Structure 1
Amino acid sequence: MPSIEKGAKMGKGILFSCQNCGYESPKWLGRCPSCSEWNSFQQIKEEKQTSGAEQFKLKSASVPLNFQPLEHSSEQRLLIGRPELDRLFGGGLVPGSLILLGGEPGAGKSTLLLQIASQLAEEFGKALYVSAEESLSQIKLRAERLGLVSSELFILQEDEIETVLAEAERIKPVAVVIDSVQTLKRANNPSFPGSPAQIREVVQAVMGLAKGRGMICFLVGHITKSGLLAGPKLIEHMVDVVLYFEGDRRFPYRVLRVAKNRFGSTQEIALLSLGEKGLTPVQNPSAFLLSERRPDQSGTVVTPIVEGSLPLLVEIQALVTAGNPGNPRRLVSGLDNQRVAMVLAVLERRGGLPLSSREVYVSVIGGIRTEEPACDLAVALAVASSFYDLPLPQNLAAFGEIGLTGEVRRVGGGQRRLEEAKNHGFHQLLLPKGLLEEVEVGTEMRVQGIDSIQEMLASLTKKEGV
């Protein structure tokens, strides 16, 4: 327990605040009741309460805002110049926005933001790249490797936020990149960089710069072993946009996913390829993800998913093998474990597949993660294909949600899913029967409506339509 001033435990004007989430208590607590963090309370002095007219004195008068339809609202956003990234931010970057980018070490966070800063500097004016982790020579070497040469891109190596703010006020850039928020500090704060108190103060200072000066501010954030952003959860509430880098460092591509966006959809993703020239958007993600597929094997099926405004074809593979009857293994990668467990239970109870004594492995190939209920039918089809060891037609795709009674339910975006499958040569499609009247099939597609899991298994085993 930290040292507490004598008589301060329940004294007037004394509060204890959690340095992780900001929860306040009149006494010291070992564990925060809000965020469950241990030993996070520190003593603070409560501000003197005023009464009467004093508490209503305003620092500045309010100004009424007359809301009128904005003409040419697209001009309010700054386009990066890469359609995939502009779509990710909802149509471009909004001036005055605060953007947090998180990811594992080596994912490409610094490379991507250096590329964005250089692009903004060429198109709209000065950009400031601040690094507290790398030296100026290291940043210049990376910029030269990426072919980024711009007289409007300024680089600063600094670990105190006061100096960063002063430099931003001096050069007045259109965008500021801070790499990273866990390594910056306030000079008058005695805690070490990366502590919850320091991170909160640094983000608060940068937010004032973004909102007060209209600058676009990017923050790089480290993540913990559990995949969450390091530092207090409060910072995710303070920023306008939260992005996550996903993907295995052993593979040359990354998935950039939106977790929060006050100016656009939170369901958008972008597939980026990491090469010698940095991160470049993949022009045809569906073809890229299916390029190494082996359709002659059992247990593989393609399903169209929709991430925000992006329809995407992904391959779902399943493997059913004999295992320990008492404790068979069930491993899932890229899908929601609970939904896959539910689909397996429905296959056994409603479809009659004896899976309780079998080991089942289900994976979305390519490192893509999706939690769409529309993947249920593809998961069931892949598991059944592996169980019976029956390969599916190579031009077959399937989507639909499965209920606990075995029914196949309709999902949204049916037409977009169908068009994406047709554009990539998948001319056979299994979908919920309820969608047949809602989609325009055309003459090139052979579409079969599935009403239940039993009908799907009958079509698979009898080769009727599949």
Structure 2
Amino acid sequence: MAKKRTEYVCSACGHRSIKWLGQCPMCKAWSTLAEEEAPKGGDARPAWGAGGTGARPTPIGEVEADEAARLQTGIAEFDRVLGGGVVPGSLVLLGGDPGIGKSTLLLAALDKLGAGEKPVLYVSGEESLRQTRLRGDRLGATAKNLLLLAETDADKVLAEAEKLKPRALAIDSIQTLFLPELGSAPGTVSQVREVAGRLMAFAKRTDTPTFVVGHVTKDGAIAGPRILEHMVDTVLYFEGDAGHSFRVLRAHKNRFGSTNEIGVFEMRGAGLAEVPDPSALFLAERPEGQPGSVVTATVSGTRPLLVEVQALVAPTQYGTGQRKSIGVDSNRVALLAAVLERKLGLSFGPCDIFVNVAGGVELTEPAADLAVCAALVSSRLNEPVPASGVFFGEVGLAGEVRGVTAPEVRLAEAAKMGFGTAWIPSANLRRLEKAELPLAGVASVRELLESLFPGLELSGPQGQEPQRRSRAG
């Protein structure tokens, strides 16, 4: 019996080697080469062409492009992240931690799409038909044109899709599908790459929107070769903390829309529920009048969002204070603490600093800097900031407060939520024509702290503690 020929394939870029290497010679990644059975008959790969037969070059002005052709899934938060709906012929990759709700979201979306005249096909390689039906009963998925298929052979799945011509196709998950001619196990680099290539060709040729669920690694990246994310049109990540019921759908790549949009969901007993007003949800349990609690206004795409930034400054038990943060870049927190210490004389050296964004939200834009500074000083002095205040602005290394984008949208959301005063950059204040709530423009962090904590003496040199001026003086 002939011995099977094996090779080593890089999980990051797909490079093949006849022997194991510690570092991939192509992408320079370490410990990414895994052993696989070599394809039978050489490196036989199917054609991935998306145009089919008879394709010819077409002037760009003659190509029809109707934005109204997008399909609405019926889930507004999902459509928002997709850019207004799913584009026919697009290939969408959905990733996330196990149990986060990827399959639940897809099944709910296909149930609404199945309310039309054309069928939709949901392919499960991980669950039996009975198991999928039980999950559908919990979600109330009862569309008559929602068809289920439990299959792992990619050829059979595509054959059924060719015959059915569905309105939409969902694969849960791509790591469970395989092509028999490749000989390797499902989920290997070669299988994932080739299956994705055939799904892409099918989606482009038939104009069928195709959704693919992808497993993630322990590092949070989608398992399989990186080429998988390059091939698809849209990459969505479903994120959330196991300790919270909130789920955030975020686009990391979108050829047909913005990557800044987010969709917010809440996990309930009957499945995922949309959160049309996430600001109210994230601020519902905010402890008012507590030191270190500050509200900031952030913008994700076109959506404004009010979230609570919490800071805790406590004496350290070690020689050097810790700098820990959740929801904010820890390097950014250390930078802002250094600005407060160097420019204003606030000493954080003998203190541990902990910063958290309530609700599991990730703040990536620098507009949250002003709120982080206010929270740090509030906790350091053990004095609360006004509960009706909202803060946003970027802080530079000289202690200056720089303007941010979309101040009107942020202020409108703050006014809608009933906030009384907004501390914003002076540069934004000069450009605003009108506002729905009182504004306080600040050009530096020093101005902010003098406004929030009257009587606080701030000094420039490092190491000098701020002192309270006497009320009489």
Q: Does 1:339 align with 2:332?
A: yes
What is the CA–CA distance in structure 2 between the aligned matches of 1:47 and 1:375, rounded to whole Å? 51
1:30/1:40 contact within 8 Å kept: no
What SS does the corresponding residue of 2:385 show, helix, strand or coil? coil
Q: Does 1:450 align with 2:442?
A: yes
**After superposition, what is the alpha-carbon deviation per residue over 1:58-111, rounded to whole angstroms, capped at 9, x for unaligned?**
98562323415968x332101112322221111111000000111111111111
CA separation of 1:291 and 1:17: change in aligned 2, threshold 3 A: closer
CA separation of 1:197 and 1:20: change in aligned 2, threshold 3 A: farther
Q: Does 1:433 align with 2:426?
A: yes
Please point out which of 291, 295, 300 is paired with 2:284. Answer: 291
Q: Does 1:203 align with 2:202?
A: no
Task: Report how far residue 24 of structure 1 moved.
Answer: 6.0
- Range 34-43 or range 421-430, more displaced: 34-43
Q: Who is 1:97 aligned against?
A: 90
Q: Does 1:106 align with 2:99?
A: yes
CA separation of 1:20 and 1:378: change in aligned 2, threshold 3 A: closer
1:408/1:453 contact within 8 Å kept: yes
Please point out which of 359, 375, 390 is paired with 1:382. Answer: 375
2:421/2:438 contact within 8 Å kept: yes
The aligned amino acid for 2:281 is: F
Task: Report how far residue 39 of structure 1 moved.
Answer: 3.4
Task: Report how far residue 30 of structure 1 moved.
Answer: 4.5
2:309/2:357 contact within 8 Å kept: yes
What SS does the corresponding residue of 2:373 show, helix, strand or coil? helix
Q: Does 1:67 align with 2:61?
A: yes
1:334/1:370 contact within 8 Å kept: yes
CA separation of 1:388 and 1:19: change in aligned 2, threshold 3 A: closer
1:398/1:430 contact within 8 Å kept: yes
The aligned amino acid for 1:446 is: P
Q: Who is 1:115 aligned against?
A: 108
1:29/1:41 contact within 8 Å kept: no
What SS does the corresponding residue of 1:390 show, helix, strand or coil? coil
Q: Who is 1:11 aligned against?
A: none
Q: Who is 2:470 aligned against?
A: none
Question: Which fold has the larger relative contact order, with Cα–Cα distance below 8 Å and residues 6 or more apart in sequence?
Answer: 2
What SS does the corresponding residue of 1:138 show, helix, strand or coil? helix
**After superposition, what is the alpha-carbon deviation per residue over 1:169-192, rounded to whole angstroms, capped at 9, x for unaligned?**
111101111111111111112211
Please point out which of 30, 33, 37 is paired with 1:39. Answer: 33
Q: How many residues are aligned here?
A: 443
What is the CA–CA distance in structure 2 between the aligned matches of 1:165 and 1:222, rounded to whole Å? 21
**After superposition, what is the alpha-carbon deviation per residue over 1:26-81, rounded to whole angstroms, capped at 9, x for unaligned?**
98755213133443477789889xxxxxxxxx98562323415968x332101112
Q: Who is 2:13 aligned against?
A: 21
2:294/2:385 contact within 8 Å kept: yes
**After superposition, what is the alpha-carbon deviation per residue over 1:270-311, rounded to whole angstroms, capped at 9, x for unaligned?**
110112332121021100110010111010110000001110
Identity across matched positions, percent: 45
1:344/1:355 contact within 8 Å kept: yes
1:100/1:239 contact within 8 Å kept: yes
Q: Does 1:261 align with 2:250?
A: no
Q: Who is 2:471 aligned against?
A: none
2:393/2:403 contact within 8 Å kept: yes
Please point out which of 138, 142, 146 is paired with 1:149. Answer: 142
What SS does the corresponding residue of 1:182 show, helix, strand or coil? helix
2:103/2:172 contact within 8 Å kept: yes
Please point out which of 184, 194, 200 is paired with 2:187. Answer: 194
CA separation of 1:124 and 1:306: change in aligned 2, threshold 3 A: farther
Task: Report how far residue 22 of structure 1 moved.
Answer: 2.8
What is the CA–CA distance in structure 1 between the aligned matches of 2:245 and 2:295, rounded to whole Å? 22
1:32/1:40 contact within 8 Å kept: no
1:297/1:391 contact within 8 Å kept: yes
CA separation of 1:463 and 1:60: change in aligned 2, threshold 3 A: farther
Task: Report how far residue 4 of structure 1 moved.
Answer: 11
CA separation of 1:28 and 1:245: change in aligned 2, threshold 3 A: closer
CA separation of 1:125 and 1:194: change in aligned 2, threshold 3 A: same
Q: Who is 2:80 aligned against?
A: 87
2:22/2:30 contact within 8 Å kept: no
The aligned amino acid for 1:459 is: S
Q: Does 1:356 align with 2:368?
A: no
Q: Who is 1:270 aligned against?
A: 263
CA separation of 1:428 and 1:210: change in aligned 2, threshold 3 A: same
Is there any run of 5+ residues in structure 2 with no aligned partner, and where?
45-51, 457-473
Length-normalised TM-score, structure 2: 0.88
**After superposition, what is the alpha-carbon deviation per residue over 1:149-168, rounded to whole angstroms, capped at 9, x for unaligned?**
12211100011111100110
Q: Who is 1:245 aligned against?
A: 238
Task: Report how far residue 389 of structure 1 moved.
Answer: 0.9
Q: Who is 2:209 aligned against?
A: 216
What is the CA–CA distance in structure 1 between the aligned matches of 2:225 and 2:43, rounded to whole Å? 23
What is the CA–CA distance in structure 2 between the aligned matches of 1:378 and 1:334, rounded to whole Å? 13
What is the CA–CA distance in structure 2 between the aligned matches of 1:325 and 1:300, rounded to whole Å? 25
What is the CA–CA distance in structure 1 between the aligned matches of 2:375 and 2:384, rounded to whole Å? 9
What is the CA–CA distance in structure 2 between the aligned matches of 1:176 and 1:304, rounded to whole Å? 38
Q: Who is 2:407 aligned against?
A: 414
Q: Does 1:280 align with 2:280?
A: no
**After superposition, what is the alpha-carbon deviation per residue over 1:178-222, rounded to whole angstroms, capped at 9, x for unaligned?**
111111111112211111111111111111111111111111111
Q: Who is 1:138 aligned against?
A: 131
CA separation of 1:358 and 1:244: change in aligned 2, threshold 3 A: same
Q: Does 1:308 align with 2:306?
A: no
What SS does the corresponding residue of 2:238 show, helix, strand or coil? strand
- Range 79-88 or range 329-338, more displaced: 79-88
The RMSD of aligned alpha carbons is 2.5
1:23/1:32 contact within 8 Å kept: yes
1:76/1:94 contact within 8 Å kept: yes
What SS does the corresponding residue of 1:404 show, helix, strand or coil? coil
**After superposition, what is the alpha-carbon deviation per residue over 1:217-276, rounded to whole angstroms, capped at 9, x for unaligned?**
111111111111111111010111111111123322211111110000001101101123
The aligned amino acid for 2:250 is: R
